[in-house]
A = this chain, B = another copy of it.
Amino acid sequence: MRITFAVVIALLTIQSYAQPSVDASQRWIEKEGANILSEFVELLKIPNHASDLENINKNANLIKDRFEARGFGMRLLEEEGAPPIVYGEHLVKNATRTLCFYVHYDGQPVDPQLWVHDAFEPKMYDESMYMGGKEIPMPKPGDEISENWRIYARSASDDKAPLIALLAAVDALKESEIGYTSNIKLFFDGEEESSSPHIETYFTKYGDLLDDIDVWLMCDGSVYQSGDPSFKFGGRGITGMQLTVYGALRPLHSGHYGNWAPVPGQRLAELLASMKDEKGNVVIEGYYDSVEPLTDFEREMLNNTPNIDAQIKEELGLAWTEGNGEALNERLLLPSLTVKGLSSGSVGEKARNIIPSFAIGELGMRLVKGCDPDHMLNLVEAHIEKEGWHIVREDPDMETRKKYPKIVKVIRDPDGFPATRVNMEQPEILNVVNGVKSFTGDAVFLVSSGGSNRVNDAIYNVLKTPAISVNMVNHDNNQHAENENVRVGNLWYGVKLMSVLLTLPNDLPKK
């Protein structure tokens, strides 16, 4: 099912458990669409970087109030110096299971220079600004709203959209007097984009609130690039390192020293270039050795996943991809190595005729099942040393500078974590899968997301509970980058999906 007008067609052909909930949502969207968006805008206006505790608390309280007003028992779980967890519950008589909706209300930092608009002044466009869309006014009640419209703001997709979708689904079911079939818990994180450093503390401290959860529904991440609904059963791990390469103690005049003094940008380039071959494969020794192969079931799921490479290449304007033509889905099952940042001296109008005294490269690494973060970082460091570099952990002193021809400071990501992969064949998981299928029909069930979530890791390791990643937002949402956005049609899909998850069939035996 494409998340477009196809929804309507799907609804006409599938008689399902899901039908009443989906109908209720559709009526609610038609009647209240402008108000849903208006409530969304209000939430998007509050800046939400985890380090900005004042605004983070404003976000948390607004969200708590909104669910409280709709009958959820709400509280803020608190930890000194950390964003609060917005926790909620709605218990149901004779429920056979407890589902927990996980959403994070914090967002990535914003670099205002890169944004077309203020990231916290939401703007509506009539389609993607990258496809020539134009800004239009926010709709008023009664206005027709196109599914192709997009709202631009930080966290429009990642990850405030599921909050609004869930609120609207709650309203829609209430309006149509449809009850929930599971105990519902809410767990809204306030520092996911800062790697949720307190998540284990929260899980330990408030474990009694979370013990009875059967399945976590991780409402984060985008639907499959084909537009098909998608659910993911794991995520890649993550780690990385910052490399600083040194030249002279101070910046030098490029005339008086050029062709003699070492050029940090040149040498960093040489180091980075040594890490991959011309096919885009990592040539660091052992980099792919610990990758755990797929089970037969996982391989089958993977084979059922549409190959969307041609479409994505078209959309992104790519003539070549790493791996020289290997499918995206296969490539995401290998560890990645990404130059996510480069800096030395200045470029553009600020460029000066100097030899900078240092150059910085930020390396991001995504890990798959079997890859230990520390081990992977060790492999990269071993490669760096094999290339003749002396590794330091702090800026080198003069003795060190004068001793080693090639010096690099390596700062290892202290917050890495390994990949997770839930057993897709266990009954609790299959039950949810079958329930949503009655709404979505065929959908993409991905062995693993390409992305990473520390919370998934903690749920698996601390709470020992399975989690499914439930996706609703458009894949081209610029999450983490400038001009983040959500497509309105995806928001409406999210409302329907949430209403289905709140009313999943009761096939599971009561515990």
Name A residues whose Cβ lies closer than 8 Å to a Cβ of B: 108-109, 111, 130, 221-222, 235-236, 238, 242, 247-266, 268-276, 278, 280, 313-323, 326, 328, 331-332, 334-356, 359-362, 364, 366, 396, 398, 401-406, 449-452, 475-476, 478-482
Q: 4 closest Cβ contacts across the A-B interface?
A: A265-B339, A255-B451, A317-B401, A320-B405
What chain B residues lie within 8 Å of A344 (beta carbons)? 339, 341-343
One complex includes copies of this chain to the number of 2
Known: A262-B322, A263-B338, A355-B340. A316 touches B347 (CB 8 A): no
Bound CA–CA A348/B276 (angstroms): 23
A338 partner, pick from B269, B355, B475, beta carbons under 8 A: B355
Provide 24 A-B residue pairs closer than 8 Å at the C-beta atoms, listed in order of the A residue: A111-B350, A238-B255, A249-B315, A250-B316, A251-B482, A253-B480, A256-B449, A256-B451, A260-B326, A260-B328, A260-B331, A260-B332, A262-B320, A263-B339, A265-B272, A265-B340, A266-B272, A266-B338, A269-B273, A319-B405, A320-B406, A339-B359, A343-B344, A353-B452
**What separation, in Å, do the CA atoms of A221 and B351 have in the docked complex?**
20
Whether A316 lies near B248 (C-beta < 8 A) is yes
Bound-state CA distance A238–B359 (Å) is 23
Q: With A269-B272, A318-B402 in contact, do A347 and B356 touch (Cβ < 8 Å)?
A: no
* Contact A347/B360 with A339-B266, A352-B340 known, Cβ cut-off 8 Å: yes
A480 contacts B261, C-beta separation under 8 Å: no
Q: In angstroms, how far is the closest chain B Cβ from the Cβ of A405?
A: 3
Q: Could you tell me if A314 and B360 are in contact, using CB atoms closer than 8 angstroms?
A: no
Given contacts A109-B352, A340-B354, A346-B362, 5 further A-B contacts (CB under 8 A): A222-B256, A253-B450, A260-B323, A262-B322, A273-B273
Please tell me if the beta carbons of A346 and B355 are within 8 angstroms of each other in the complex: no
A337 CA / B265 CA spacing, docked (Å): 11
Contact (Cβ within 8 A) A342 B343: yes
Q: Could you say which residues of chain B place their CB within 8 Å of the CB of A482?
A: 251
CA distance A384 to B334 in the complex (A): 31
Central interface residue in A222, A260, A261, A266, by most chain B CB within 10 Å: A260
Contact between chains at B347 and A342 (CB < 8 Å): yes
When distances are taken between beta carbons in the complex, the residues of chain B under 8 Å from A320 are 262, 405-406
